[in-house]
């Protein structure tokens, strides 16, 4: 009785079928890729259009090869005896001419990989690069840098239709422009904030000058009423003008210019402070000379009394003359000091005055 023997599948059929399945998966993935759908929308231009057209043509040929090899494998599986012959024959149409199944599948697989690479490049440009450009545009817009905004807009326009023409250097350049604009904006904001703080400090300084000017005027009036010949010019007489200047600075809209003007204002205010201090120094110096003279007179009187020298008419007259000069208002310091010198001389001339 004859025994039926199951046909043996040629190993090359199994191999080609596995390769065909992998090719099919790759083609399906490409067809479901949103980037591929957008690229096929017809809006590409320039080098990107050429690159994608070549890749998409390769994908179309891969589909044709897929169908042709699938049909050939069906025939080989139906006729195992001729499977090897069928698969080895150059019967699959490809862009390079008719080829055997293995060579045709390899070419199709290569086309699919090329399609994946181009799609990935497009996705990276439309995704990552576009996001970076948008961020740079937002930063430049916020900073008010129109040149940087225009540069970003030019890149964005090219990115839509010819994304593969955009390089990392292009994007980095726009980002650097936006970053610089943001830096200038931050510096301006900091300067504005610093200006506000300095304006508050200037107001406080002006108030202090006003108060000190009034106190100085009172002290100078007292000193000139007590010291003869004390000539002290009235200091800081233009504080009202200084206040008006500060008002104009505060009203400036150009903050950097205002900051520079405020520096000048502080220099002027410091000069007024120096005038007040200088005027007081002269007045206080005169008052100090009078106080020291009175102290010396008191000491000499005590000395004269302790030695009973004040009983002498000459010493008593010298004491009275010096006292009159020192307690006169206003006091002539030179005359008072001369009287003290005569008093000292009178004491020294009496017996016991040198002890």
Rounded Cα distance between 102 and 94, Å, is: 12
How is 213-279 classified by DSSP, letter by letter? HHHHHHHHHHHHHHBTT---PPP-TTHHHHHHHHHHHHH-S-HHHHHHHHHHHHHHHHHHHHHHHHH
Q: What's the N-to-C CA distance of the chain in angstroms?
A: 167
CA Rg value for the chain? 52
* Residue 302: strand, helix, or coil: helix
Confidence of residue 299 (pLDDT cuts 50, 70, 90): very high
Rounded Cα distance between 57 and 239, Å, is: 84
Answer whether residue 5 shows pLDDT above 50.
Answer: no
Query: What percent of the chain has a predicted confidence (pLDDT) above 70?
Result: 96
Rounded Cα distance between 101 and 12, Å, is: 10
Answer whether residue 236 shows pLDDT above 70.
Answer: yes
Q: Tell me the pTM.
A: 0.55
Average pLDDT, the chain: 89
Residue 221's alpha-carbon distances to 146, 230, 254, 333, in angstroms, are: 62, 10, 43, 17
Answer whether residue 266 shows pLDDT above 60.
Answer: yes
Q: Which residues contact 226 (CB under 8 A, 6 or more apart)?
A: 286, 287, 290, 329, 330, 331
Secondary structure letter of residue 80 according to DSSP = G
Answer whether residue 15 shows pLDDT above 70.
Answer: yes
pLDDT of residue 6: 47
| Mean pLDDT for the stretch of residues 171-195 | 83
| Mean pLDDT for the stretch of residues 37-48 | 92
């Amino acid at each position: 009785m004859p025994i039926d023997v199951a046909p043996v599948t040629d190993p090359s059929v199994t191999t080609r079928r596995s390769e065909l399945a992998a090719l099919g998966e790759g083609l399906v993935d490409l067809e479901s890729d949103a980037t591929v759908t957008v690229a096929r929308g017809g809006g590409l231009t320039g080098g990107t259009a050429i690159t994608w057209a070549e890749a998409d043509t390769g994908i179309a040929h891969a589909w044709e090869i897929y169908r042709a090899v699938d049909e050939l494998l069906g025939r080989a599986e139906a006729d195992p005896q001729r499977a090897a012959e069928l698969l080895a024959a150059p019967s699959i149409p490809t862009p390079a001419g008719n080829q055997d199944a293995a060579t045709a599948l390899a070419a199709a697989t290569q086309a699919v990989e090329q399609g994946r690479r181009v799609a990935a490049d497009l996705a990276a440009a439309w995704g990552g690069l576009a996001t970076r450009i948008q961020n740079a545009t937002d930063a430049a817009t916020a900073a008010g840098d129109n040149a940087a905004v225009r540069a970003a807009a030019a890149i964005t326009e090219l990115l839509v239709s010819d994304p593969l023409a955009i390089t990392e250097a292009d994007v980095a350049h726009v980002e650097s422009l936006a970053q610089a604009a943001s830096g200038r904006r931050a510096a301006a904001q900091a300067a504005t904030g610093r200006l506000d703080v300095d304006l508050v400090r200037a107001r406080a300084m002006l108030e202090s000058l006003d108060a000190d000017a009034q106190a100085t005027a009172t002290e100078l009036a007292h000193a000139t009423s007590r010291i003869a010949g004390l000539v002290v010019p009235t200091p800081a007489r233009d504080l009202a003008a200084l206040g008006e200047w500060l008002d104009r600075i505060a009203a400036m809209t150009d903050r950097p210019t205002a900051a520079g003007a405020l520096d000048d204002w502080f220099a002027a205010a410091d000069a007024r402070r120096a005038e007040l201090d200088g005027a007081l120094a002269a007045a206080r110096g005169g008052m100090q000379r009078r106080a020291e003279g009175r102290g010396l007179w008191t000491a000499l009187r005590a000395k004269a009394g302790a030695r009973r020298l004040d009983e002498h008419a000459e010493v008593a007259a010298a004491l009275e003359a010096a006292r009159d000069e020192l307690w006169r208002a206003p006091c002539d310091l030179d005359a008072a000091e001369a009287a003290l010198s005569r008093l000292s001389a009178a004491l020294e001339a009496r017996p016991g005055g040198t002890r």
